[in-house]
Structure 1
Amino acid sequence: MMLHNSIRLLNKTCRLPPRQLYQLVAFEQQQNQHLVKKREYSTAGIMEKFDLPQRLQGSAPSVWNEYIALAMEYKPLNLGQGFPDDAAPEYVTKALAEIANDENPLLQQYTRGFGHMRLVQAIGKLYSKLLQREINPLNEVLVTSGAYEALYSAIMGHVDVGDEVIIIEPFFDCYHPMVKMAGGVSRFIPLKPTKTEGTISSADWVLDEQELKNMFNSKTKMIILNTPHNPIGKVFKQKELELIAELCKKWNVLCLSDEVYEWMVFDGNKHIRICTLPDMWERTITIGSAGKTFSVTGWKTGWAYGPANLIRNLQMVHQNSVYTCATPLQEAVARGFELEMTRLDSPECFFNSLPRELQVKRDFMAKFLQDAGMKPTIPEGGYFMLADWTNLEKKININSEPDKYRDYKFTKWMTKNMGLQGIPPSAFYSDEHKHLGEDFVRYCFIKKQANLEKASELLEKLKNN
């Protein structure tokens, strides 16, 4: 049909014999088809050439992207994401406002790449006191774009292709993808509860000692420790840390210690920094966060400290990716540290008042979760709480959600139908161990009291259905 139409059109504009017209149009159409095919081949070649690189393939979609989109659509009470919904300490935000209007123009420009001098000096001074050893702020401290970048720089800077990295489950979900990007091999070991009835504490979640010993071998480069732990809230005890330390020394393994919740410890528990154990300073990189320390998660300012030879590797990654972090934010965090160091032993110190406030919120959440029929694990630290939700299964229809894992079904059903959002803990497990997280939900309790009370009311409503 198209060929005949083309012939009629040409016949109106030029006088050629019909046979020649037919041959001309047929030739043009053949050329057009060739160009289309060539374009298709070219597009396919372009698409194939720009596929996701092999080192990035196989990583699961981020639970945060999925659940942020869910929250934007359904606008639930968000107890899923780990950020405060109340004001940060006034002296910290006021400092930033003052810096923005400071007469010193250099406070608005690039600062030292490995950390603003005022901040690295403050960090060095603080941890020198806490660790009872002198920390050199110039080569034993690195300021990063959040603790996230500190983790990334540590893993990329120390893990080589084929190196094994031990990851304790459940884990902050970026650990494994970062190891994979570095060419490393993740080896997973889960914390498991030793009891399922009665009041359950995060201390009841433990590693199997023999299983942990079996994880270490000549290929092991690193173990990632998170204490206080997210999402369980476990504060690792002296004996547990000593076992990890002995294995690190025996196999010459680096310990990457994620301690961003270091100030949030409850019930008289004590946060022990593994780098203070005998012969562990020289094999430990410790990570901290201004976002968690001062309740300013949007500032994305973190740090790593450790021996100069280990921090040097992080500096190499940092200088060739991030280069330098925001000067005004670093200056404000430094001023915050300087103030708090003058009152470290005082009840007014934010590092001391915050855990007191959080413990009240923790206890309130634990009670309303129990009243609703859930079984919470009472955290010793951090600001997250895991709860077994399976007693509520008869009251809801999780099968209306198409997801593979039950905790995803539960949290999505609750978001859509009850207006309360939590996070599915199976997102913090390897594929082989995801079933260990399916009966739980993670909630965050560093929220306004009014919002915690609203969550209580929503669960009471579900209970009475």
Structure 2
Amino acid sequence: MGYPPLTKILASFFGKLLEQEIDPLKNVLVTVGAYGALFTAFQALVDEGDEVIIIEPFFDCYEPMTLMAGGHPVFVTLKPSPTGDGELDSAGNWRLDPTELASKFTSRTKALILNTPNNPLGKVFSKAELELVASLCQQHDVICISDEVYQWLVYDGHQHVSIASLPGMWERTLTIGSAGKSFSATGWKVGWALGPDSLMKHLRTVQQNSVYHCPTQGQAAVAQSFQHEQLHFGQPSSYFVQLPQAMWRSRDHMVRSLQSVGLRPVVPQGSYFLIADISDFKSKMPDLPGDVDEPYDKRFVKWMIRNKGLAGIPVSIFYSRPHQKHFDHYVRFCFVKDESTLQALDEKLQKWKDELRP
């Protein structure tokens, strides 16, 4: 379902990447943004009482979408490895414990939701990590819903690998993408889901009886964009080459700037977000105004907006409630900013730095 020129180019473009013969009528669904693809997938595939494994930190719609479908979220946490004194943390240091992950699979597990590159952390899952997930999904006959909206935004030589390209995974994977993220056109609300007909037929039923389809004009524009990318793929004229180069520079700029006031960035491998450790501030000013049960990062963000004119997102909101207190010392920042905004950031941080001097 979708505008035929778009479904055809998506089938052709991603067929090469996933090494699959993709049928534009059976294996492609165009949705109202990647959000629409996620919602349709949960409604189509998760039944009352089914368990869905969610890797923390997670994009915040995964838990409510699981609950809306009648499912039960089961959380497994990426844990940071210790870093040396003065050494910047990297999103690649945050890893799953294989034994803990395996313990989350039960006879009631229906699906696992994977997000690579991850929002908010910016982690790009390695092929070895994906092979572990794939092995457990196959062993327990579990569907993988793979949210890959930031797949073109990877840095430092890292490679995005789609789990559907691994042996035995196409048959049990939904791969979800976003035109808004791919072409910097957020708000267009054109997304897609790719997968085997055995899964896609259920998504088609849900979409046909809900939103039906998304506006044709946006689909036509996305089709033309992909046609251009197919002709220029891997070349300097490709937007998928140009975009990460520009964002790489913005990322490094923001990392340096945040360090200047004592924030400790976790350098992302992908996406256009980074998180920064605010532990030093938590120890120096632990009693910021706020509710008694309010996580520290939420109070810090409100303080930072009021007093420093800087906005961020508290990372604890990307965790299940029992785990929020363990990760309330991080703030997420977005670095997809133009030069003038980054300069304004520097000015505000310089003023902050001056205020910190004894």
Q: What range describes the TM-score normalised by the shorter chain of this pair?
A: over 0.9
**194-203 or 219-228, which deviates more:** 194-203
**Identity within the alignment, %:** 49
Q: How does 1:189-208 map to 2 (within 5 A)?
A: 189-197=76-84, 198-208=87-97
* Partner secondary structure for residue 16 of structure 2: helix
Q: Which amino acid aligns with 1:246?
A: S
Q: Tell me if structure 1 keeps the 8 A contact 2:50–2:108.
A: yes
Q: How does 1:27-426 map to 2 (within 5 A)?
A: 114-197=1-84, 198-393=87-282, 399-402=288-291, 404-426=294-316
Determine the C-alpha separation between the residues in 2 that align with 1:454 and 1:398: 28
Determine the C-alpha separation between the residues in 1 that align with 2:286 and 2:81: 30
Report the alpha carbon displacement of residue 353 of structure 1 after superposing the two structures with TM: 0.7
Bigger fraction of residues in helix: 1
Q: Tell me if structure 2 keeps the 8 A contact 1:227–1:262.
A: yes
The total of aligned residue pairs comes to 352
Report the alpha carbon displacement of residue 459 of structure 1 after superposing the two structures with TM: 2.0
Partner of 2:333: 443
Q: Which amino acid aligns with 1:233?
A: G
Determine the C-alpha separation between the residues in 2 that align with 1:128 and 1:394: 51
- Per-residue Cα deviation, 1:248-278 (whole angstroms, up to 9, x for no partner): 0000000000000000010110000000111
Determine the C-alpha separation between the residues in 2 that align with 1:226 and 1:183: 21
- Per-residue Cα deviation, 1:314-358 (whole angstroms, up to 9, x for no partner): 111111111110010000110111111100021110001100111
Q: Tell me if structure 2 keeps the 8 A contact 1:257–1:284.
A: yes
Q: Tell me if structure 2 keeps the 8 A contact 1:398–1:410.
A: no
Q: Which amino acid aligns with 2:302?
A: K
- Per-residue Cα deviation, 1:69-116 (whole angstroms, up to 9, x for no partner): xxxxxxxxxxxxxxxxxxxxxxxxxxxxxxxxxxxxxxxxxxxxx211
Q: Which amino acid aligns with 2:107?
A: S
Report the alpha carbon displacement of residue 411 of structure 1 after superposing the two structures with TM: 0.5
Report the alpha carbon displacement of residue 392 of structure 1 after superposing the two structures with TM: 3.0
Q: Which amino acid aligns with 1:376?
A: P
| Structure 2 spans left out of the alignment, 5+ residues | none
- Per-residue Cα deviation, 1:35-69 (whole angstroms, up to 9, x for no partner): xxxxxxxxxxxxxxxxxxxxxxxxxxxxxxxxxxx
Partner of 1:48: none
Determine the C-alpha separation between the residues in 2 that align with 1:118 and 1:282: 25
Q: Tell me if structure 1 keeps the 8 A contact 2:150–2:182.
A: yes
Q: Which amino acid aligns with 1:431?
A: R
Determine the C-alpha separation between the residues in 2 that align with 1:401 and 1:220: 38
Q: TM-score, normalised by structure 2?
A: 0.96
Report the alpha carbon displacement of residue 455 of structure 1 after superposing the two structures with TM: 1.4
Determine the C-alpha separation between the residues in 1 that align with 2:187 and 2:166: 33
Report the alpha carbon displacement of residue 395 of structure 1 after superposing the two structures with TM: 6.9
* Partner secondary structure for residue 145 of structure 2: strand
Q: Say if 1:141 and 1:382 are closer, same or farther in 2 by CA, change over 3 A.
A: same
Q: Tell me if structure 2 keeps the 8 A contact 1:387–1:442.
A: yes
Determine the C-alpha separation between the residues in 2 that align with 1:415 and 1:322: 38
Higher Rg of the two aligned structures: 1
Report the alpha carbon displacement of residue 394 of structure 1 after superposing the two structures with TM: 6.7
Report the alpha carbon displacement of residue 397 of structure 1 after superposing the two structures with TM: 7.5
Determine the C-alpha separation between the residues in 1 that align with 2:91 and 2:347: 26
Determine the C-alpha separation between the residues in 2 that align with 1:236 and 1:275: 13
Partner of 1:461: 351
Q: Say if 1:395 and 1:447 are closer, same or farther in 2 by CA, change over 3 A.
A: farther
Q: Tell me if structure 2 keeps the 8 A contact 1:395–1:462.
A: no
- Per-residue Cα deviation, 1:390-443 (whole angstroms, up to 9, x for no partner): 223477686223361100000011111111110001111001110232100000
Q: Say if 1:398 and 1:409 are closer, same or farther in 2 by CA, change over 3 A.
A: farther
Q: Which amino acid aligns with 2:116?
A: T
Aligned pair 1:429/2:319, yes or no? yes
Determine the C-alpha separation between the residues in 1 that align with 2:16 and 2:326: 40
Q: Tell me if structure 1 keeps the 8 A contact 2:282–2:296.
A: no
- Per-residue Cα deviation, 1:7-39 (whole angstroms, up to 9, x for no partner): xxxxxxxxxxxxxxxxxxxxxxxxxxxxxxxxx
Q: Tell me if structure 2 keeps the 8 A contact 1:388–1:441.
A: yes
